[in-house]
Amino acid sequence: MDIYSTMSDEELVVSYSKGNDSAFDTLLTRHKQSVYNYILYTIRDNGLAEDIFQDTFIKAIITIKQGKYIESGKFKAWVMRIAHNLIIDYFRQKKNESIISKDEYEIDLFNNPSLCDDTVEIQMVKKQVLDDVKKLICFLPESQREVLEMRYYKDLSFKEIADLTGVSINTALGRMRYAILNIRKMAADNSMILTI
């Protein structure tokens, strides 16, 4: 009998935080259907639901690995809240992308510099951060670099990445997690400020 299947969510989280990846696999297997169904019910788009589902568990992985998980005994509710917040973020972003016709306003919204997204200075800082990240990516192990590039530069879902690389979704998620953690560590070691 699988010892992990008899453990509580909280015991699995503690075990995973100590480096036992099998413990997280059990958590994922235990809760993936209900989390995915919730996202799909709200979003009603299979591809988007899959992406939000994967991003939910990446956030969970990073939070646990950073020692920031404090929701004692409420793992499922905590993961559902992460999913819910990502769904809200998606709808906010979609709402912000809606175009407002300037004909309804006396002010020309499209030519107002105070409403521009970024100043030249902010654009330069963003470019520097992207350049720094690209440099750091070169130092990642091949398997981590491959997943990170497919996710962020080719915008592939983790299912697509898993299919293309011939690994399980859990393995692809794990490689992404380690890639992000390694980049953050390298950035900290080199006094870089990153936003990933």
- Predicted confidence band of residue 1 (pLDDT cuts 50, 70, 90): very low
**pLDDT of 3-40, one tens digit each?**
888 999 999 999 998 888 889 999 999 999 999 998 98
Rounded to whole angstroms, the Cα distance separating 45 from 39 reads: 9
Q: Which two tokens stand for residue 71?
A: 């929701």
Say yes or no to pLDDT of 133 above 90. Answer: no
Domain 116-189, CATH class in plain words? mainly alpha
Query: Is the pTM for the entire model greater than 0.75?
Result: no
Under CATH, which architecture does the 3-97 domain have? Answer: Orthogonal Bundle (1.10)
Contact 21/32 with Cβ under 8 angstroms? no
Which sequence spans correspond to the domains of the chain? 3-97, 116-189
Q: Does an H or E element contain 65, and which?
A: helix 46-65
